[in-house]
Amino acid sequence: MDMVKYTIIVFVVAVFVVFLFAVMFPTSFDQIRKAAELAIKTGQLTIGGKNPRVDQIYIEDKACTNSASGPGVLGLADSSVNKVIKAYIADDNGNCNAATATAYVCDPNAGTCNQATRIWQSGMTFTNSPDGNVHCNFTVSSNFPLWFYYRWGDWKINVTVNDPSSLYNNTVQYWYYNQMSAAEYPYNPTGATIDFGALPMVGGWNDGRGGGGTTGNYIKNTGNIRVNVTWNSTDFSCTTPGTCGSDQIPITNSPDSFCVDRDTTRGGGAFSQQCMNANELIQSWYIPVAPASLKRCGSSGCATDEDGGTNAYYLLYWHIYVPNVREGTYQDNIQWTGMSCPTCGG
């Protein structure tokens, strides 16, 4: 009984002390109450996932490299070839199948390869995963058209990937566009014969011939490197003996008798004519910056060259001196050679 009384007295005294403390020191009591409340809060933090990675980029199933001189890729003269670009993407979070990826292709003139410097881009589509979406294969939604007029050399591909948590990464790797020395003459219309038409002047010069008369024939750079053109020819021989017998129209340069030119008038215009001997290889400089005769095209239609000029696709004319020979049809062999010119800014 005494113990009960003692417990009651202690409880009453404790309540009185707490009440008295709360009345005399209200601010301190409130801080103690808050401290007691804070002591029962639950601590929490979140650790984010890892950024995805682009482990490997491929062009036509060839593995690109992390430095220059990557795998060689071939183009097609006067046309384009569609190239498939793929990427092998890793995501330790196990959801690379839900990632979004974009491929950017940059030419040799680009320093850093990204969206701002690309010449082409495409979204990429998830194709499959070998291990539960930790690693995933992606392929471009539309294939990259590799045009004949794109410059040869070290090209780059940037593949940028974003995962569902907005974590991202990118990788830049290299491939090499092989040199393609190609040109065509006559071009448009294409043919094996340069038809000078019926020459009206015998015993004199017939200027600006070609294309069946005075229309000329086009020459075009159909490759990805500047080309230096050289020419040679044999004498014109009669092919209708019944009318012209064994007559010949000689090809000489003393005096000149057979010249190729970008102008219709012999000895005039902005470009210098080039005259040849029979069986003598001559070089022809058709643009102000020697030694390249043909620059690269600036587009698929080649309306301008790579520098905005007209030195990749243009008309050629021939100036022919015809001596006093009999009427008839005469033919000769005209040989032209296009040599790549990597040392002239090719």
Gap between the Cα atoms of 260 and 335, Å rounded: 12
pLDDT at 267: 80
Q: Is there a contact between 207 and 258 (Cβ–Cβ < 8 Å)?
A: no
The predicted pLDDT at position 211 comes to 83
Residue linked to tokens 């199933």 = 61
Task: Give the pLDDT score at 21.
Answer: 47
pLDDT of residue 44: 61
Residues of the chain with pLDDT under 70: 1-48, 189, 277-292, 343, 345
**Residue-wise pLDDT tens digits, 5-39:** 444 454 444 445 444 444 455 555 455 455 445 55
Question: Which pair of structure tokens corresponds to residue 122?
Answer: 């495409």
Find the DSSP H helices in the chain.
2-24, 26-38, 241-244
Q: What is the CA radius of gyration of the chain?
A: 40
pTM of the model: 0.80
Closest CA to 177 of 71, 255, 48: 71
Provide the pLDDT for residue 12: 43
pLDDT of 128 reads 97
**CA gap 21, 25 in Å, rounded:** 6
- Residue 31, pLDDT score: 53
Query: Residues 279, 293: contact at Cβ < 8 Å?
Result: no
For 127, the token pair is: 């194709």
| Residue whose C-alpha is closest to residue 64's, from 105, 30, 6, 28 | 105
